[in-house]
Structures are given as C-alpha cells and as structure tokens.
Amino acid sequence: MVFKSLRLLPVPCLLASALLWPFSVKATALDDYVNKPDPNYQFNVVRDEDSAFAKTYIVHMTSQQWRDETEVDRPLWEHDLIITVPRTLIPIPPFDEPLDKNSTAIMLISGGKNGPDPVDDPEALVEIAAQLMGAVIVEFKQVPNQPLSFTDEVDNPRKEDEILAYSMDKFLDTGDPEWPVHLPMTKATVRAMDTIQRVLQDEEDITIDDFLVLGGSKRGWTTWLTAAVDDRIKAIVPASIDMLNLGRQFQHHWEAYGFFAPAVGDYAAFDLPCRIQTPNGLKLLDSIDPYSYIDRYQGLPKLIVNSAGDQFFVSDSSQFYYDDMPAPFAMRYSVNTDHSQDEDVLKAGLAWIDDALQGRESAQPFSWSFQPDGSIRVEVERTPKTVKLWQASNPDARDFRMESIGKVWTSTTLAESESRVYTAQVEQPAQGWTAFLIELTFDEGGAKPDQVFTTGVRVTPDTLPFAGTFCKDWMRVLNTSSRGQVGPASSAIQSTGFIVSGSGSKKFLIKGEGTILGLPDSLTDSVLRLVNLNTGAVIDENDNWRDHPSADQVAAFAPPADDREAAFIVELQQGQYVAELSGKDGASGIGLVAVTEVDQETPEPKLLNVSNNGQVGTGEATLRAGFIVSGQARKRFLIKGEGAILNRPDAITDPVLRVYNLSTGETIAENDNWRDHPLA
C-alpha cells in the first residue's frame, strides 16, 4: 500500500497540446481553454491493490477550476481514476522485461457524482480484460463534476444534461466563451491522460504514449472533443451520442416529431434548439460541436456506436455527418435498444478495439449508399458471416424511439444481389413510416468475438411530417396570471414569478386587478410592484394605472376596467422577475396579477417559466394560475403545485393540483402526490 501526494503543472504536455494543430487551423475557445495553464491541477495516489491478474492504482485528481464561488458552489473539479495494470506489463523477477510492451492505454470516461464515498475496489472483470488485451485500462470518473448548484438559482442542484443546457444558455446570454461545461469536461480528460502517464512512469516505469478513449452519451461528446484537441488519442469509441452537426440535428428532430422529446427537455427548456441557429448560437457550435472539428479526425480510427431506438436522437441522424466523416471509421446502430444500449453491443466492439490497439485495419470492410430507388446498397471487401435486413414500422408517427414503439425491430437474412453486393429495400407502408438498415457480421476467427457493423438508418417514405415548422410559430407562453387571496400581512401578498429568456428586450404588461373578477370579496384598490428576483431591486410600481407614465400604452393594449387597478408596461431583458400584488393601505380581498407579452410578434425574448405564490383557500379563494399558449405545434409543460419548498411555517403541506381548459372547463390533468402520476 502506498500514499503519495504530488502537485504539478505538466508544462510539456500543455505545450504539446498547444502546438498540436497547424497554424492554418483556426483555434477555437475549446483549444484556448484546454491549453490555458491552471495551477489547481494536482493528483495523489490514494492506494494500490494487488491481485493475481493486475495491479490497480486509485488516484484522486483535481483537474482545474471552472468558474468561481460567485457562480457555482464547487468550482474546483475533482475526479477519481482507477488505473488497472495487467501483470503482463510488469516485470516478474528475475526477469527484467515484462511479457507485453503496450504503450497504449484504454480509458473509459464515466460519470458518477462527487461526494465523500470511497472509490470501489477494482472489478475482477476489468483486471481479466486488461490481462487478456495486454493493455492498461483506466476508468476516469466524475465527468462532469456533479451535482452543481449555481448561485443564480435557488435549491436547484443540476446534473448531467441539466448542467450542459444551463451552461450553453449562459454562453448565449453572456458571450463568455468559457461558460459551456463541455470545455472543462474536455480539459479534465486531457489532465487525466497527463496523470495516467505520470503515475505509471513513476510507479511502474511504464511509458504510455497514447490512448484509446471510450465514452457514452455526454462522455461520448467529450470523447469526440478531446480527440479534436489532443493527438495522444490513438482511437475513439463514442457511443450513444448521435448529434454531430447539432443545429441540423435539432431541426430534423423537430420536423420528424413535431416536438422535442422529453430526453432533450433540458435543452428545449432554454429554447436552445432554436437559439443555436442564431449568430451567437453558431459561435457556440464552433466551440462544442464535434462536427466543427471534423477535419481534425482525419486518420483517427473511430468506432461510432449508436442506437436506432435512442430517446435523445432521431434514428436516421447519421445522414448529417456520415458523408463528411474522414477515414478510417466504422459504425454500428444497435436495434431494439435505447440510449443505454446493452452489453452485447460492447462485446461486438471488442475485436475492433483489439485491432485498433494493435494498429491493424480499423475501417469497416464494406461501403454502403442510399440508392435513388429507396434501397440501401452494400458492397463488401471480404465475405461476411451473415448479412441481415432489420426493419421497424410505426403507423402513427415518424418516431422509432424504443420508448415509443417498443422492441419491434425484426430481421431477415439477405443474400447477395450480385457478387459482393447486398441490397435491401422495404415496401412503403400504407400508413406511417418504416425504418430499416443492413447489419453485417464478420467472423474474426479464433477466440475473438465477431465484429458487427451496420449502415445508417433509412426511413420510408422519405417525408418529414412537420417540415418547415422548426422554430416557426413554436408554441410559447404569451400570458400568465395568478388569482388568489390578498391579505393585509406581507405574507399574504399575491405574486407571480417569471423568467424571461432569449436575446434582446421586450415589452411586458404587468397588471394587478380585483374588481374585474366581479366577486363580493374582490380587491377594490390594487397596488403593484415589479422586482428583479436576482438583485431584489424594485423595477417599477404603481397604485392607479392612469397615473403611470406608460398609461397611454396600457390604454392602447389592454387597459383595466377600473382606474383604481394597477398596471404598467415595462421593457425587460433576460432575467428572473416577480410581480407582487397587495391591497392599498393593507386592504384584503381576492386579486389577480397578470404578465403579458406586448410585442407578441417578436420571437425573443420570451416567457420561459412562471410561478405563482399566494394564500391558498377554498372556493373562490383557491389559488389559480392561468396562462395562454400560442402556436400550432405541440409543447410539453411541467405544472407543479408546492408548499413545503417555501420553507415557511404557514406553507401548505399537501397541495392538490388540477389543470383545466378555461374555454371548455374540461379537466386536462389532476394530481395529489406527484409520484403517483403516470409521468412521475
């Protein structure tokens, strides 16, 4: 057992990274961030473990500082590395040389949360795999660091896509090129490679020259980006990250589904699919979209592993990058799987990984194309073990997510249509759409597992049911209002909180009314004020609406019926706000506070989130939140009713929520305990 503490700044590695690309290649914000020295980088070997098959080092590493304490709760990024060294790489006395000399390490980028829990002992299967492959295997954890709580939010620890989406939104708001969390995720991986090289050199006198890097989902994204900035990467296996050419992918996603799938809801919540189409959005993609670096992948072996039923991505997404991908590479779409895929998919990649480690040919041994007649044509270089046509149909939607259609993909064996050529074509369905692909299995001989590759997915008919509707007339909230009891105490103020999202500024009408309700206990004289929730500053306030400087604008747009009501029009930029309604001189009654977009033809900024806070009573004093949505396409909304989160002694402890159509009175949904709801 050893314990060592090291603090270092690997300047040679930084310089190598900085000089990686020719001067003719334009450096991006990602390049600049990765190459920027950071004195916070350090690591220590926590412990080592011996077994019959391997020696394993548990290493704790601080990779960098991302942002500071004024923005996020834990700016120092910390990670654990589990470095498994097979016995074949370690000399056994009295011999001076090991059985194997493999200077390539396999690194799996993984997730997990940060916390006090100790790192688990190494798994026996990993030790055996390292022994069989004759290579160091490393699991690199906590990418990204999570959960992270940002200081401009209250009680909202973020993880996974929540962090990525938030950071992309911050870039679009501020223009700060270091906001996207993809940058520290990539830099952490570069620092991990530095650490692995140093630990193995110091502890075992093993020189690691390069790396085969694997990662899935967000870690697959990081795998692509790290390969773009560091030439120590010898080969990559990005899995479940079918998003290259991201702006085009989001457009295709919408035009295929007519909505953004729940899996990408964190991105849709910030309107990122549309905002990345703007000039600032394109700058963001220049930094974080692997497609922006596609020329840098020339000569890099790549095994791209996707799922045809992924809940994040449309099944035929490869059409937006495949033809531009430089050699060598291979691709596989697994069927009857979703984003998580399964172990069989990984097993089918082991032979490819072994070829890449040994420097053997790693391109798929065939070419394929979509033919004008709607078929897929494959031409092989060597005889495959099996060739299959896989297909799935959906009579209702152009949607092949496994969560939508289940495990419905079926296969038939294909014979050669001519020498070394296989062709697949399916009948156009009478209703709906059919997706299909060709899968080829190659026998690698001996004990090596078969290699399985596929073409891309083709869909027939070649139509998009929502073509031309992307980011046009997208459903959005135009108005929100809250009705409830207004009392004499400050705790009984009726308030509506809302978030304005997007670039530029827009005018909003803020109204506080009571008499319009026509109730005997309505508030008769309203007082209204608007507060910036981040700073606490009062932006505007009003008692009688005709006394406000914007009274003429209010009168032209939607004036209150009674002069004693409060209202004003104010121009707001992106931010968090709360409109507070009270009674004049402490009067009580039932009141209504409303927020409405005035410039409704202007797409940005827009209302993104609304919340209402007030006394909850019974009958007419029930707390009610109304909202108006506009647009032709569909959109999902999260509706919540809470009390305990307010952390007040008079907070309601067990709310009941009902949503109904104000025009028809029809109940759309209702719930008591949220975990009992079908969408929990």
CATH number at residue 528: 2.60.120.380
pLDDT confidence band for 13 (50 / 70 / 90): very low
- Say if CB 674 and CB 641 are below 8 A apart: no
Q: Is residue 551 part of a domain?
A: yes
Q: Quick: pLDDT tens for 44-77.
A: 999 999 998 899 999 999 999 999 999 999 999 9
Task: Report the range of poorest mean pLDDT among 210-219, 345-354, 444-453.
Answer: 345-354
Is the pLDDT confidence value at 635 over 70?
no
What domain range includes position 84?
1-145+180-238
User: Is position 343 within any domain?
Assistant: no
20 has a pLDDT exceeding 70: no
- Between 41-45, 142-146, 251-255, 357-361, the lowest mean confidence (pLDDT) is in 357-361
Alpha helix segments (H runs only) across 359-507: 402-405
What are the tens digits of pLDDT across the range 540-553? 999 999 999 999 99
Helix (H) or strand (E) holding 171: helix 161-174
Residue 38 phi/psi, 5-degree rounding, is -140, 110
Q: What is the mean pLDDT of the chain?
A: 88
pLDDT tens digits along 183-199? 999 999 999 999 999 99
- The pLDDT, as a whole number, for residue 477 is 66
| Per-residue confidence (pLDDT) for residue 3, from 0 to 100 | 31
Phi, psi of 174 (to 5 degrees): -110, -25
Structure tokens at 650: 């008079």
Instruction: Give the SS3 label for residue 509.
Output: strand
Q: How far are the Cα atoms of 68, 98, 176, 185, 300 from residue 30, in angstroms, in the given order?
A: 19, 39, 12, 10, 19
Of residues 434 and 611, the one with the higher pLDDT is: 434
Residue 669: strand, helix, or coil: strand
Residue with tokens 């097979």: 86
Query: d(Cα 289, Cα 536) in Å, to the nearest integer?
Result: 37
Of 210, 238, 266, which residue is a domain's last? 238
pTM of the complete model: 0.72
pLDDT higher than threshold 70 for residue 621? no
Question: In sequence order, what are the residues at sequence separation of 6 or more whose Cβ sits closer than 8 angstroms to the Cβ of residue 674?
Answer: 640, 680
Q: What is the pLDDT of residue 614?
A: 62
Which range is least confidently modeled, 137-146, 371-380, 504-513?
504-513
Gap between the Cα atoms of 169 and 501, Å rounded? 9
Domain-embedded: residue 519 = yes
- Integer-rounded Cα Rg, in Å, for the chain is 29
User: Is there a domain that residue 257 lies in?
Assistant: no
pLDDT at 350 over 90: no
Type and span of the H or E element at 48: strand 42-50
| pLDDT tens track for 353-390 | 988 988 887 789 999 999 999 999 999 999 999 999 99
Residues listed for the chain? 680
% the chain with pLDDT above 90: 60
- Looking at the structure of the chain, the number of domains it has is 2
Secondary structure (DSSP) of 264-295: GHHHHTTTHHHHTTSHHHHHHHHHH-GGGGGG
**Per DSSP, which regions of 399-475 are E strands?**
410-413, 421-424, 433-442, 451-454, 458-460
> Looking at the domain assignment, is residue 75 inside a domain?
yes
Q: Does 678 have pLDDT greater than 90?
A: no
Half-sphere exposure of 376 (CA within 13 A, CB side): 26
Q: Is residue 673 part of a domain?
A: no
Spell out the residues 6+ positions from residue 259 whose beta carbon is closer than 8 angstroms to its own. Answer: 633, 634, 635, 636
pLDDT at residue 96 in the model: 64
**To 10 degrees, the CA torsion angle through 476, 479, 484, 490?**
100
- Mean pLDDT, to the nearest integer, of 290-295? 97
- On the question of pLDDT at 555 being above 70, the answer is yes
- Whether 149 has a pLDDT exceeding 80, the answer reads yes
26: domain CATH number? 3.40.50
CA distances from 37 to 31, 133, 190, 227, 633 (A): 12, 35, 12, 19, 47
- Could you identify the residue written with the tokens 């960098």? 64
Higher-scoring residue by pLDDT: 186, 445: 186
Q: Give CA angle at 458 (453, 460), nearest 5°.
A: 150
Residue 75: exposure state from Cβ atoms within 10 A (0-12, 13-18, ≥19): middle
Q: How confident is the model at residue 506 (pLDDT cuts 50, 70, 90)?
A: confident
Residue with more model confidence, 122 or 167:
167
Residue 529 and residue 580 in contact, taking contact as beta carbons nearer than 8 Å: yes
Residue 646 has pLDDT above 70, yes or no: no
Residue 12: phi and psi, rounded to 5, are: -60, -40
Confidence band, pLDDT 50/70/90 cuts, at residue 641: confident
User: Do the domain assignments include residue 252?
Assistant: no
pLDDT at position 597 is 86
pLDDT of 119 reads 84
User: For residue 372, is it within any domain?
Assistant: no
Q: Find the range with the poorest average confidence among 78-92, 117-131, 325-339, 367-381.
A: 117-131
Greater confidence (496 vs 566) lies with 566
pLDDT value of residue 303: 96
Model confidence at 9, in pLDDT bands (50, 70, 90)?
very low
227 confidence band (pLDDT: 50, 70, 90): very high
Where is pLDDT greater, at 585 or 511?
511
Is pLDDT above 60 for 475?
A: no
Q: Residue 2 has what pLDDT?
A: 33
Taking phi first (over 0 means left), then psi (-120 to 50 degrees means alpha), and beta for anything else, what does residue 131 get?
alpha
SS (HEC) of 65-106:
ECCCCCCECCCEEEEEEEEEEEHHHCCCCCCCCCCCCCCEEE
